[in-house]
C-alpha cells in the first residue's frame, strides 16, 4: 500500500498538483460565493473560509511531501530542482487558500450583510404589519406546540420521554449490576487460573538447566564472532586502511588545491598590478618627448646660474673668513676689559679689607683697655670699700669693748661705793642699772648706724660699678655698631662695583652678540637666496630629468605591453593546464 502511494506521488508532477489544488480552491470559493449570494446552505457558507484555509495547508504539506519524495541525498544537485518545485507548490497553495479565505470573509461581511440590512430598512408599513401578524400567528402555533394539552405537544413528549428514561435507567442499572457481578466472578476465576499457571511456570523455570542454556549461548556467540572474524576481518582491515588512505589523499589534495588557488590568486594579483603599472607608465611616458626639447636651454641657463652661485658663495666665504678673524679679536678685547675691571675690584676689596682689619684691631684694643681700666677701678673701689668697712667694724668693736670695760669698772666702783654707803645703795644700784642700759642702747644705736652707713656705701659702690659696666657695654655696642655699619657700607660699595662691572661686561657681550647676530642674519639671507637659486635650478633639472625619464618609460611601456601580451598567452596556457590537472584530480 505504501509503495503504491509512493509511486503515485513520485509519478505525479508538482505543477499538476499545484493546478489541481488551485482548481479545487477556486471551485470551493465560487460555490460558496454562489450559495452566499442566493442565501442557501448557511452552514456551508460559514464553513467555506475554514475549508479554504484547510485546503491551503493540505497543499502546503502535499508539496513538501512531493519535494521530499523526489529528493535523493546521493544526487543533491539533481534533486534540488524537485525539492524547490515541491516547496513552490506548498507556498502557492497555502497563499492562495489564505487569500481566498480572506476575500470570502470580506465579501460576506461587507456586501451580503449590507444587502440584507438594506432590504429590511426599505420595507413598507403594510409589510411590517403583515409580518407582525404572521409572527403573532406563528408564535401562537409555537405556544400550542410547546405547552398544549395534548400528548403531541413538546411538553407532553418531554414528560413521556422522562418516564421512559427513568424506566430505561432502572433496567440499565439492574443489567449493569448483573454484568458487574458476572464480570467480577469471571475475573476472580481468571486470576486464580493465572496464578496457578504462573506458579507452575515458575516451578518449571526454576528446575530447568540455567547453566547449560548460558553455556550454549556463550558457545553460539563465540562461534558467531569467530566466523564473523574469519569471513569479514581482513575485509574490514583493508577497508579501514583504504579509508585512512582516502582521507590522507583527500587532505593532500585539499592542501594542493589551496596552494594552487593561492598561486592562482597571486598570479591574478600580479597581472592586475602589472596592468596598473603599465597604464601608469603609459600615462607618465607621454610627456617625455615634449619635455626633452627644452632640456638644452635649461641646461645652459643652469650652467650660468651655477657660475653665479659659485661667485656668490666665494664672496660669502670671504665674508665668513673676515667674521671668523674678527671674532677672536673682539673676544680678546672683551676678556681684557673684564680682567682690568676685575683687578680694580680686587684691589679695592683688598684695600677695604685691610682698612676693616685695622679698624677691628683698634676697636678691640680700645675695648680691651676700657675693660681693663673698668675692672681695675671696680677692684680698687671694692678693696677700698672693704677696707673702710673692716676699719669701721673694728672701730665699733673696739668702742664696744671700751664701753663694756668702762661699764664694768663703773659697776665695780658703784659696788665699792655701795659697800661704803649702805644708805644710798638702792638709789645708786638703780642709777647704775639705768646708766648701763643707756650705754648699751647708745652702743647698739652706734653699731646700727655704722652698719647702715657701710651698707649704703657698698650699695653706692655697686651702683657705680654697674653704671661703669653699662657705660662700657654701651661703648662696646656703639663701637661694634659703627664697625658693622662700616662693613655693610664696604660690602654695598663692593657689590655696587661688581654690578657695574658685570653690567659693563654684559653690555659688551650683548654688543658682541648683536654683532654676531647681524653677521649671522646677513649670512642666512645670503644662504637663503643661494638656496632658492639652487632649488630653482634643481627643480628645472628634476623637470628635465622627469621628462627624459617619461620618454624612457614610454619606450619601456611599449616593451612591457609586448611582455604582458606574451605573459597573458603563457598564463592562459598555464590556466588550461591547471584546469586539466584539477579535472584529473576530481576524476581520481
Per-residue pLDDT at 2: 44
Alpha carbon of residue 499 to chain centroid: 59
Same domain, 110 and 249: no
**Per the structure block, which three cell numbers stand in for 11?**
509519478
CA dihedral 474, 475, 476, 479 (to 10 degrees): 120
Same domain, 239 and 385: no
pLDDT at 432 over 50: no
Residue 128 resides in a domain: no
Q: What is the pTM of this model?
A: 0.24
pLDDT in tens, 242-284: 777 877 877 887 887 788 777 777 767 766 776 676 566 666 6
Per-residue pLDDT at 384: 55
Residue 81 resides in a domain: yes
Per-residue pLDDT band for 150 (boundaries 50, 70, 90) equals: low
Same domain, 520 and 498: yes
pLDDT at 480 over 50: yes
Same domain, 231 and 299: no
Residue 293 resides in a domain: yes
Over the chain, what is the mean pLDDT? 68
Residue 577 · residue 306 · CB < 8 Å: no
Residue span of the structural domain in which 71 resides: 2-122
In the chain, count of helices (H) and strands (E)? 11, 0
Residue 384 resides in a domain: yes
Q: Which residues contact 317 (CB under 8 A, 6 or more apart)?
A: none
Q: Which residues contact 366 (CB under 8 A, 6 or more apart)?
A: 479
Rounded to whole angstroms, the Cα distance separating 566 from 289 reads: 27
Cβ atoms < 10 Å from Cβ of 204: 9
Same domain, 276 and 300: no
Tell which of 281, 306, 338 closes a domain.
281
Per-residue pLDDT at 3: 45
Residue 144 resides in a domain: no
Per-residue pLDDT at 117: 46
**Per the structure block, which three cell numbers stand in for 241?**
586502511
Per-residue pLDDT band for 43 (boundaries 50, 70, 90) equals: confident
Rounded to whole angstroms, the Cα distance separating 109 from 52 reads: 17
DSSP 34: H
pLDDT at 348 over 60: no
Residue 36 resides in a domain: yes
DSSP string, 198-246: HHHHHHHHHHS-HHHHHHHHHHHHHHHHHHHHHHHHHHHHHHHHHHHHH
**Mean pLDDT confidence for 541-551:** 65
Tell which of 66, 92, 122 closes a domain.
122
Same domain, 436 and 540: yes
Residue 488 resides in a domain: yes
Same domain, 243 and 293: no
Portion of the chain with pLDDT greater than 70, in percent: 36
* Burial profile 437-467: b = 16 or more Cβ within 10 angstroms, e = fewer: eebeeebeeeeeebeeebeeeeeebeeebee
The better pLDDT of the pair 411, 186 is held by 186
Residue 198 resides in a domain: no
Residues in the chain: 588
Backbone angles phi, psi at 424, to 5 degrees: -105, 25
Rounded to whole angstroms, the Cα distance separating 171 from 505 reads: 148
Same domain, 435 and 488: yes
Return contacts of 580-586, CB within 8 angstroms, 24+ apart. Answer: 581/260, 582/257, 582/260, 585/253, 585/256, 585/257
Residue 476 · residue 367 · CB < 8 Å: yes
Rounded to whole angstroms, the Cα distance separating 247 from 249 reads: 5
Per-residue pLDDT at 188: 85
Q: How many structural domains are present in the chain?
A: 3
Using CB atoms within 10 Å of the CB of residue 428, give its burial: 0 to 12 exposed, 13 to 18 middle, 19+ buried.
middle
Per-residue pLDDT at 9: 47
Same domain, 374 and 266: no
pLDDT in tens, 380-423: 555 655 654 565 556 546 655 654 564 565 456 545 644 654 55
Same domain, 310 and 355: yes
Per-residue pLDDT at 219: 77
pLDDT in tens, 439-464: 456 556 655 655 665 566 556 556 65
Rounded to whole angstroms, the Cα distance separating 253 from 247 reads: 10
Rounded to whole angstroms, the Cα distance separating 145 from 489 reads: 151
Rounded to whole angstroms, the Cα distance separating 229 from 237 reads: 11
Cβ atoms < 10 Å from Cβ of 542: 11
Same domain, 413 and 494: yes
Tell which of 236, 255, 281 closes a domain.
281
Same domain, 249 and 364: no
Amino acid at each position: 500500500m505504501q509503495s503504491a502511494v509512493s509511486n503515485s506521488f513520485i509519478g505525479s508532477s508538482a505543477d499538476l498538483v499545484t493546478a489541481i489544488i488551485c482548481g479545487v480552491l477556486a471551485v470551493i470559493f465560487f460555490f460558496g460565493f454562489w450559495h452566499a449570494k442566493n442565501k442557501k446552505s448557511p452552514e456551508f457558507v460559514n464553513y467555506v473560509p475554514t475549508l479554504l484555509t484547510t485546503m491551503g495547508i493540505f497543499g502546503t504539506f502535499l508539496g513538501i511531501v512531493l519535494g521530499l519524495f523526489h529528493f535523493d541525498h546521493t544526487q543533491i544537485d539533481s534533486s534540488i530542482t524537485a525539492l524547490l518545485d515541491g516547496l513552490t507548490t506548498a507556498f502557492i497553495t497555502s497563499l492562495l487558500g489564505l487569500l481566498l479565505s480572506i476575500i470570502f470573509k470580506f465579501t460576506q461581511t461587507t456586501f451580503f450583510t449590507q444587502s440584507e440590512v438594506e432590504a429590511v430598512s426599505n420595507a413598507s408599513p403594510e409589510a411590517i404589519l403583515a409580518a407582525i401578524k404572521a409572527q403573532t400567528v406563528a408564535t401562537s402555533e409555537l405556544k400550542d406546540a410547546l405547552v398544549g394539552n395534548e400528548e403531541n405537544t413538546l411538553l407532553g413528549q418531554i414528560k413521556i420521554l422522562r418516564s421512559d428514561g427513568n424506566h430505561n435507567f432502572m433496567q440499565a442499572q439492574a443489567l449493569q449490576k448483573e454484568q458487574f457481578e458476572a464480570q467480577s466472578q469471571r475475573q476472580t476465576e481468571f486470576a486464580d487460573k493465572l496464578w496457578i499457571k504462573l506458579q507452575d511456570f515458575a516451578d518449571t523455570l526454576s528446575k530447568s538447566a540455567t547453566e547449560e542454556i548460558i553455556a550454549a549461548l556463550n558457545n553460539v556467540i563465540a562461534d558467531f564472532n569467530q566466523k564473523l572474524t574469519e569471513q569479514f576481518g581482513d575485509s574490514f582491515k583493508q577497508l579501514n586502511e583504504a579509508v585512512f588512505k582516502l582521507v590522507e589523499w583527500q587532505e593532500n589534495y585539499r592542501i594542493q588545491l589551496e596552494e594552487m588557488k593561492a598561486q592562482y590568486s597571486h598570479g591574478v594579483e600580479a597581472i592586475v598590478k602589472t596592468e596598473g603599472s603599465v597604464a601608469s607608465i603609459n600615462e607618465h611616458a607621454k610627456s617625455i618627448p615634449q619635455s626633452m626639447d627644452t632640456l638644452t636651454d635649461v641646461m645652459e641657463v643652469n650652467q650660468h646660474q651655477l657660475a653665479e652661485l659659485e661667485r656668490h658663495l666665494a664672496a660669502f666665504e670671504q665674508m665668513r673668513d673676515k667674521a671668523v678673524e674678527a671674532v677672536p679679536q673682539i673676544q680678546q678685547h672683551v676678556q681684557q676689559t673684564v680682567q682690568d675691571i676685575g683687578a680694580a675690584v680686587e684691589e679695592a676689596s683688598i684695600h677695604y679689607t685691610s682698612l676693616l682689619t685695622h679698624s677691628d684691631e683698634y676697636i678691640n684694643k680700645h675695648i680691651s683697655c676700657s675693660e681693663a681700666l673698668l675692672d681695675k677701678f671696680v677692684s680698687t673701689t671694692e678693696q677700698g670699700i672693704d677696707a673702710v668697712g673692716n676699719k669701721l667694724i673694728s672701730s665699733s668693736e673696739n668702742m664696744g669693748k671700751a664701753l663694756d670695760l668702762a661699764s664694768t669698772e663703773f659697776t665695780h666702783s658703784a659696788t665699792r661705793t655701795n659697800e661704803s654707803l649702805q644708805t644710798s645703795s638702792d638709789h645708786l644700784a638703780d642709777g647704775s642699772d639705768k646708766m648701763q642700759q643707756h650705754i648699751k642702747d647708745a652702743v647698739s644705736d652706734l653699731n646700727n648706724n655704722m652698719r647702715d652707713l657701710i651698707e649704703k656705701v657698698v650699695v653706692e659702690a655697686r651702683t657705680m660699678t654697674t653704671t661703669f659696666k653699662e657705660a662700657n657695654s654701651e661703648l662696646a655696642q656703639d663701637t661694634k655698631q659703627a664697625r658693622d655699619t662700616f662693613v655693610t657700607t664696604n660690602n654695598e660699595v663692593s657689590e655696587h662695583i661688581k654690578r657695574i662691572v658685570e653690567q659693563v661686561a654684559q653690555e659688551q657681550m650683548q654688543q658682541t652678540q648683536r654683532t654676531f647676530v647681524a653677521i649671522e642674519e646677513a649670512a642666512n639671507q645670503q644662504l637663503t637666496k643661494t638656496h632658492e637659486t639652487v632649488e630653482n635650478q634643481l627643480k628645472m633639472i628634476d623637470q628635465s630629468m622627469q621628462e627624459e625619464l617619461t620618454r624612457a618609460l614610454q619606450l619601456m611601456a611599449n616593451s612591457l605591453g609586448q611582455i604582458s601580451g606574451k605573459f597573458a598567452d603563457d598564463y592562459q596556457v598555464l590556466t588550461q593546464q591547471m584546469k586539466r590537472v584539477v579535472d584529473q584530480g576530481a576524476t581520481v
